[in-house]
Amino acid sequence: MRTLSFLLQKEFKQIFRDPAILRLIFIMPIIQLLLLPWAADYEIKNIDVAIVDLDRSVYSQRLIDKIQYSSYFKLQVFELSYKDAMAYIEDETVDLILEIPKDFERDLTREDASTVFIAVNAINGTMGNLGAAYAGQIIRRLNQNIRMEWFQMPRFSPIKQISVTERHWFNPTMNYQVFMVPGILAILLTMVGGFLTSLNIVKEKEIGTIEQINVTPIKKHHFILGKLIPFWVLGLFMLTIGLIISFIAYGIIPAGSILMLYGFSALYLLAVMGLGLFISTITETQQQALLVSFFFMLIAILLSGLYTPIDSMPRWAQWIAMGNPVTYMVEVMRMLVLKGSASYHVYFHMGVVFIFALILNSLAVWNYRKSS
């Protein structure tokens, strides 16, 4: 116990004297939490549109007006031909072309039907699809209005129609920042836990102080605890800072149990630190440790469901995601902070992360040999 307290004193002193670590733990999360969530915005708005109006009628103008006044779209260009408009798609000045053919109005009133053409840049498939869908919505609504001006619509709908209403829970303002913040918090926790722990231990290996420790009566588990505890404390501290910033900058208040949140985070940190420890036992230099950690970290971050949904991944990738502790942290963060999910939903995650922590830390301790 006593040995541990001396070890911890030394560790904390060293951590606070290391400028790189300080910057990582304090400045980096703050900056990233403040800036990055604003980047994450898939909302359909301000799509640049090119209009090719070959009809120039009252109705075509109405359609153009509707598009113009919608927040989804921004009129940029008026062209005389589809081909000319395409040039703007190619240099990405516009992302959507609406072509209203000649005799649009006449066909509509006399032939009962006419057609408009939408071409949308679908390299980003999801956005393209949504953009076209919203344009479609606007057109259909205008269509209905025109019909009602011409016909007395009967009380009963003459055709069979299924209407669909939608409600959005947990995030009624459809705010993207709110969605990203917990995820970014999870990433930051991971970086402190996994990265820094492994770096720290390997640094001792490199300098040689580890050998000095090996000769002393310090036991294996003391040494490891001495390395884990400070970063564990710092990790939880960072979580607190993160939550405070989330509140101040984004107005996010955890809707679920905060106790559960800290409890899970504490367990999660143990798991990532176990990973960091393990990496430190198999690498000799800080460089190697960094490289290996980073290799896994990028995978862990991108395959965690933070940016893209796990459901959309191929089966084998989903398995990888299920074996990725970050996935669980991100989900728990979102569930507890955003959805206010009842705590029992998180039991599964706790169980998984507990097993992770157990396996990883055991592996690390087993691997860490003081005497060769």
Residue 245 beta carbon to other proteins: minimum distance, rounded to whole angstroms:
16
Instruction: Pick out residues in 258-287 that bind other proteins (CB under 8 A).
Output: 286-287
Contact of 25 with 234, CB cutoff 8 Å: yes
State the Rg of the chain over Cα. 29
Distance separating alpha carbons of residues 191 and 198, to the nearest angstrom = 11
Stretch that binds other proteins, among 158-166, 237-245, 260-268, 276-284 (CB under 8 A): 158-166
Residue 145: both structure tokens together: 């209005």
The 63-92 contact track toward other proteins, x by CB under 8 A, reads --------------------------xxxx
The answer to whether residue 58 forms part of the interface with other proteins (CB under 8 A) is: no
C-alpha to C-alpha distances, 250 to 33, 240, 307, nearest whole angstrom: 10, 15, 19
Return the residue of 146, 352, 359, 365 that touches other proteins, per CB under 8 A: 146
Q: Which of 258, 317, 355, 358 binds other proteins (CB under 8 A)?
A: 317
Please state the closest distance from residue 286 (CB atom) to other proteins, in A: 4
CB of 301 to other proteins, least distance (A): 8
Nearer to other proteins, 6 or 366 (CB): 6
Q: Nearer to other proteins by C-beta: 58 or 217?
A: 217
CB of 73 to other proteins, least distance (A): 12
Candidate residues 277, 334, 361, 364; the one interacting with other proteins per rule CB under 8 A: 334
3-class secondary structure per residue, 308-359: CCHHHCCHHHHHHHHCCHHHHHHHHHHHHHHHCCCHHHHHHHHHHHHHHHHH
CB of 362 to other proteins, least distance (A): 21
Spatial contact of 331 and 305, defined as CB atoms under 8 Å apart: yes
- 365 touches other proteins (CB under 8 A): no
Under the criterion CB under 8 A, does residue 35 sit at the interface with other proteins? yes
Is there a contact between 96 and 135 (Cβ–Cβ < 8 Å)? Answer: yes
| Rama region for 305: left / alpha / beta (φ>0; ψ in -120 to 50; rest) | left
Q: What tokens appear for 108 in the block?
A: 């509509």
Q: How many residues lie near other proteins (CB under 8 A)?
A: 137
CA 362 to CA 357: how far, in whole Å? Answer: 8
Q: Binders of other proteins among 160-219, rule CB under 8 A?
A: 160-172, 174-176, 178-179, 187, 191, 195, 199, 203, 207-209, 211-212, 214-219
Beginning with the edge strand found earlier in the chain, give each strand of the sheet holding 96-100 in spatial order: 73-79, 47-53, 96-100
Considering only 76, 128, 205, 225, the residue that binds other proteins (CB under 8 A) is 128
Verify binding: residue 347, other proteins, rule CB under 8 A: no
